[in-house]
Amino acid sequence: MKKVMLIGQTGAGKAALIHALSEDGYAARKAMAVDYCGPFINTPGEFLENRRFYFALITTSADCDMLFMVQSATHSTSLFPPQFATIFNRTVLGVVSHADAPDANVERARRYLQSAGARSVICIDAATGKGLDEVRALIGS
């Protein structure tokens, strides 16, 4: 199984995704610091929200094989700068979360992630299980 780091703003659904993919019952909670759970590394939303913490994301990415940039389909804005993925020397996948929410705009979230440099984008909903099999196949679980 590949080691995966998740990056996204607060409330994007990183912890819920880890909980849905985790076999050891990860308790979804707000990350206050870098949180290691088996093959997953959950980063605080503040690391993306404050540019001065980008170095922490870059340093932490050295411990992983793949990065997931998580963008909620319910957020009307994105904090991922254009070509953000290029600062990492890893495979970067875009993950659109909350895809089945009533106020979701999946196409907008997909455009945000593509602008940020994601090589490919997967739409998921951790609550319904939509897209989780595709993510599992990518990480080898």
SS3 assignment, position 76: coil
Nearest-angstrom CA–CA distance, 4 and 76: 26
Which pLDDT band holds residue 134 (cuts at 50, 70, 90)? very high
Question: Can you give the pLDDT at residue 128?
Answer: 87
pLDDT at 23 over 80: no
Q: Is the pLDDT of residue 82 over 70?
A: yes
Q: Which amino acid is at 121?
A: V
Q: What is the mean pLDDT of the chain?
A: 92
* φ/ψ (deg, to 5) at 71: -125, 125
pLDDT at 69 over 90: yes
Q: How far apart are CA 53 and CA 126, in angstroms?
A: 27
* Per-residue confidence band for 27, with pLDDT thresholds at 50, 70 and 90: low
Residues 6 or more apart whose CB falls under 8 angstroms from that of 98 comprise 13, 72, 73, 74, 104, 125
Whole-model pTM? 0.92
CATH superfamily of 4-139: P-loop containing nucleotide triphosphate hydrolases (3.40.50.300)
**Does the pLDDT of residue 139 top 70, yes or no?**
yes
Query: Residue 141's pLDDT band (boundaries 50, 70, 90)?
Result: low
Q: In the prediction, which pLDDT does 85 show?
A: 97
- What pLDDT sits at residue 41? 94
What's the pLDDT at 28?
63
Distance CA 116, CA 78 (A): 9
Half-sphere exposure of 29 (CA within 13 A, CB side): 10
